[in-house]
Amino acid sequence: MAKIKVLATLPELPKTPPPILTLQRPQANERTLLTLARGLKLKGNETVGSIQRDATTFGYSEGVFDLIVHRASGAFRFKDRTRWQIDHGTNVNLSDEEAIKRARALLKRYKLLPAESKVLCVSRLNVAVAGPERKMQDHRIIDVAVCLQPVIRGVPIDGPGGKVTVYIDHEGLTCVDYLSRRVGPVYRKVTDLRSPEYAIDLATRAWNRRGVYGVEINEVRFCYFELGWNDEQKYLQPAYIVLAMLVGPDERIRTGDIFVTPAAVNPAGTLVPPVRKPRSQKPRAATGVQ
């Protein structure tokens, strides 16, 4: 049996259970790709740009800009390849408040600002030089990223998806990662919610099956759960995310772990797609060459 330490404050639940929502099927094709490019202030045609495609994405390049749209989710990345996370010898001296203000203004300009959102985090890309004495020199910030979390019916969207991230350098916008699917009408009313303790109990059973020695539960989130870039998803439904640290017998080896489970007593199927089992490669036929 795993030794469980619950260090987290359990989330408060809404008085009325939020419903399970449908997600609009993404329209990822060349026409919508070019329409999106024009919405991002590009010319958006093959006379001045070029289209690329593969099994999972459509891409459009025009000048220094790249736009990649993922087929399964409709999520996209729009970046300036000459500036995004590239050191031009400058320093971006923005407070969190100023960076958030600029990020929201940029999203509003491109009509990408969620109707309601909260700030998940503000991060900075640092660069520096280490001299012969291993002293840090020329420490600068070349990029500030503001990650917003859309909120639906008072509940934040979480998981691999549910994020809109804006990257800013000394000149302004360098990249937008937009991973937030379009929400449709209600699919099913939720009759009741499981408790956070229920989620911890399910997680504990999973860790016991894996033979985990010890677990520190650092956070339990209540949210709408959204999958990632290359995952198809039909429904947006309430969930618990349990963030934990798995601890070895000597407490020296520690590994982060995440457990996800539906919060509704009447969920719409599973939240996370099953893990694909690795396919063994058949031995090659002998060629007779030694």
Confidence of residue 290 (pLDDT cuts 50, 70, 90): low
pLDDT at 102 over 90: yes
Spatial CB neighbours of 255, under 8 Å, sequence gap ≥ 6? 245, 246
Spatial CB neighbours of 235, under 8 Å, sequence gap ≥ 6? 20, 21, 22, 23, 187, 268, 269
Spatial CB neighbours of 138, under 8 Å, sequence gap ≥ 6? 127, 128, 129
d(C-alpha 49, C-alpha 66), whole Å: 10
Over range 152-167, report the average pLDDT: 96
Q: What is the pLDDT of residue 20?
A: 98
d(C-alpha 24, C-alpha 74), whole Å: 10
DSSP label of 105: H
pLDDT tens digits, one per residue of 31-84: 999 999 999 999 999 999 999 999 999 999 999 999 999 999 999 999 999 999
pLDDT at 288 over 80: no
**Range of weakest confidence among 2-16, 105-119, 144-158, 271-285:** 271-285
Over range 97-113, report the average pLDDT: 96
Helices (H), the chain: 30-39, 96-109, 196-209
d(C-alpha 235, C-alpha 187), whole Å: 8
pLDDT at 126 over 80: yes
Confidence of residue 132 (pLDDT cuts 50, 70, 90): confident
pLDDT at 289 over 70: no
Structural contact between residues 170 and 92, judged by C-beta atoms closer than 8 angstroms? yes
Structural contact between residues 158 and 223, judged by C-beta atoms closer than 8 angstroms? yes
d(C-alpha 102, C-alpha 113), whole Å: 12
Tokens of 42: 């590009």
Q: What is the mean pLDDT of the chain?
A: 93
Q: What is the pLDDT of residue 133?
A: 79
Amino acid in the structure at residue 94: L
Q: What is the pairing mode between strands 235-247 and 57-62?
A: unpaired
Q: Which domains does the chain have, with CATH numbers?
A: 3-20+187-262 (no CATH), 26-182 (3.30.310.160)
Amino acid in the structure at residue 146: V
SS3 194: coil
* Percentage of the chain exceeding pLDDT 90: 86
**Range of weakest confidence among 23-32, 133-142, 216-225:** 133-142
The 8 Å CB, 24+ separation contacts for 39-44 are: 39/110, 39/111, 40/65, 40/67, 40/78, 40/110, 41/110, 42/67
Q: What is the pTM of this model?
A: 0.88
Q: What is the pLDDT of residue 2?
A: 86
d(C-alpha 183, C-alpha 236), whole Å: 8
pLDDT tens digits, one per residue of 216-258: 999 999 999 999 999 999 999 999 999 999 999 988 899 999 9
